[in-house]
Amino acid sequence: MMGEEAKSAEDKNGVQRRVWESQDFTITKIVVEEGQDGDNGEMMTPRFGAACSVQVSAISCSGVDLNRLRNDSTISRYLKEKNDCDWPIGGGDTEVDITLERVLQTMRVGEKCEAAIRVKFDSAKNCLAGLPPSSDCWVEVECALWLRGCVNAEPVHKWYAETKMEKAKEANAAAVALFKAKRRLDALRKFRQTLTLLTFVLDESAGDSELAAEAEDLSMTCRSNLAACHFQWGNYTYVIELASRVLERQPDNVKLLYRRGVAHLEKNEFGESKADLVEAHRLDPTNKAINEKLGQLRVREKRHLEELSKGMKKMFA
């Protein structure tokens, strides 16, 4: 979220305006026209789940072609040629849109501002056509935002458990679609959003065993998918942590046994790796990937023991 203290600066016309800047310095907002407070005098800003009516104009960018920014939904779904859009807070699934949502969540209805954001596209983790396979592609976007209207949502903790469950299903479905499109970093954020909502559901559904079971099953699927994301990136500690949580409830999950076994192998934890891969082989003896990793395990464990033996001999020579 944005920094806690407002500053002032000159806008493009040299007029002193109120300014907000994010704590990580990737967002700057210059207020051109103040918005309205709520009926009780409180500053009402859009919460997660709010339905906003937004006018976007004066769009410029660097690091990506402007035409692509406006027409490629993998870059932004909201910065279109058409100025007016309906913008649900929490609905963004790209770096640009999620960052601009942070700006919208600081605005009041009627407020107009000039926003400047700087986002990093990690195309090594997100398969975006036309961008170099690099983890260091920065895009800067400037635009004018006008929060024309907002049907605000209650704070999430006040939602009914059933409402949270439906929102969790929506987020999970979006995450799965993103994962299939190889936009794994975008999918990761949606899977995390799903898990956050499910945590609320599980805390509040003690008296509804059916809802609790549904939430628990979806949380296990979500963790399995998160493990798949981290497996692709070689984040093996996270793979082990997530897979272990699911395997406590699903000990015969071959995919997770395989992924955890490989993760242990890459960390040179041969005993743990062998236990997982042998069990995965028992459950699926014809699986080529499992059999290949078992072969690699034997070779690497033997090499490790030989190197250890040589090191011991040198130590005591």
Is the domain of 98 the same as that of 192? no
Between CA 228 and CA 308 the distance in angstroms is: 32
User: What is the side-by-side strand order in the sheet with 51-62?
Assistant: 7-10, 16-21, 27-33, 112-121, 137-151, 51-62, 84-88
Q: Which of 104, 138, 153 is the last residue of a domain?
A: 153
Residue written as token pair 């955890």: 260
Answer yes or no: is 217 within a domain: yes
pLDDT in the model for residue 12: 64
pLDDT in the model for residue 26: 94
* Intra-chain end-to-end CA distance of the chain, in Å: 60
pLDDT in the model for residue 115: 96
Answer yes or no: is 1 within a domain: no
**Residue 103's domain is classified under what CATH number?**
3.10.50.40
Q: Which of 153, 184, 208 is the last residue of a domain?
A: 153
pLDDT in the model for residue 42: 62
DSSP annotation of 147 reads E
Full 3-state SS string of 58-124: EEEEECCCHHHHHHCCCCCCCCCCCCEEEEECCCCCCHHHHHHHHHHCCCCCCCEEEEEEEEEECCC
Q: Report the domain count for the chain.
A: 2
Is the domain of 130 the same as that of 261? no
pLDDT in the model for residue 277: 98
pLDDT in the model for residue 3: 46
pLDDT in the model for residue 137: 82
**Which amino acid makes up residue 136?**
D
Is the domain of 80 the same as that of 175? no
- Produce one character per residue of 93-106: b if its CB has 16 or more CB atoms within 10 Å, e if not: bbbbbbbbbbbbbb
| Three-state secondary-structure class, residue 236 | helix
**Residue 306's domain is classified under what CATH number?**
1.25.40.10
Q: For residue 130, which of 64, 186, 71 has the smallest C-alpha distance?
A: 64
Q: Could you read off the pLDDT tens digit of each residue along the chain, which spans 317 residues?
A: 444 455 776 666 777 788 999 999 999 999 999 998 766 656 689 999 999 999 999 999 998 899 999 999 999 999 986 779 999 999 999 999 999 999 999 999 999 999 999 998 887 788 776 665 665 688 999 999 999 999 999 999 999 999 999 999 999 999 999 999 999 999 999 999 999 999 999 998 878 899 999 999 999 999 999 999 999 999 999 999 999 999 999 999 999 999 999 999 999 999 999 999 999 999 999 999 999 999 999 999 998 887 777 766 666 66
Is the domain of 223 the same as that of 288? yes
Q: DSSP letters along 174-234, please? A: HHHHHHHTTBHHHHHHHHHHHHHHHHHHHHH-TT-HHHHHHHHHHHHHHHHHHHHHHHHHT
> Would you tell me how many other CB atoms lie within 10 Å of the CB of residue 108?
17
For CA atoms 57, 63, 66, 68, the dihedral sign is negative
pLDDT in the model for residue 132: 59
pLDDT in the model for residue 33: 94
Is the domain of 144 the same as that of 239? no
Is the domain of 145 the same as that of 12? yes
Is the domain of 116 the same as that of 226? no
Does residue 28 contact residue 8 with C-beta atoms inside 8 Å? Answer: no
Domain that residue 231 falls in: 160-312
The count of residues in the chain is 317
Q: Which class for 208: exposed (0-12), middle (13-18), buried (19 or more C-beta within 10 A)? A: middle
Is the domain of 82 the same as that of 105? yes
pLDDT in the model for residue 14: 73
DSSP annotation of 157 reads G
Answer yes or no: is 93 within a domain: yes
